[in-house]
Amino acid sequence: EYSELHDKLAKELAVSLASRYLEQAQYEERHGKWSSAALSWSKVCEGRPDDSMAHMRAANALLEAKGDLHRAQQLAQRALELRGESADIRRLLGRVYIAAGLKLNARRELMMAIAIDPKDTLAQSLLAQIKD
């Protein structure tokens, strides 16, 4: 009973603080404070579990901070679930996989990004870098 009440209050608090964390995350990103931005974006995701942009930005901040790549992958995949096919998110997943040393997964994601947006020069460049 107390546990349920605690969970309910924690969710309400996360929702109410999400916009404050969003502003903080954007400030931290602008100033290159990637670890802090990753934490702030994660808190935005808690309060806005269906916000694809927040999940994508959290994943990107984790990647830039050289943080938990498994968590970055989960966040990016959630963003993809929420938004549907997106070259930006596929490219981000590709970057996460490159950082994790998973070349085959990276190649697959980057090829999907290029299939969605054939003019995605960043995805093309990343794909060229991982070809053996």
Q: Which residues contact 25 (CB under 8 A, 6 or more apart)?
A: 37, 40, 41, 43, 44, 57, 61
Mean pLDDT confidence for 21-49: 94
Rg (alpha carbons) of the chain, rounded to whole number: 16
Q: Would you give the DSSP letter of residue 78?
A: H
Higher-pLDDT residue of 123 and 6 is 123
The answer to whether the predicted template modeling score (pTM) of the entire model surpasses 0.85 is yes
Distance CA 12, CA 20 (A): 14
Higher-pLDDT residue of 61 and 14 is 61
Query: In percent, how much of the chain has pLDDT > 90?
Result: 80
CA separation, residue 50 to residues 11, 19, 42, 116 (Å): 13, 14, 12, 23
Report which residue type is found at 51: D
Please count the residues of the chain. 132
pLDDT at 76: 97
pLDDT at 112: 97
Contact 51, 38 (CB under 8 A): no
Q: Would you give the DSSP letter of residue 86?
A: -
Higher-pLDDT residue of 132 and 48 is 48
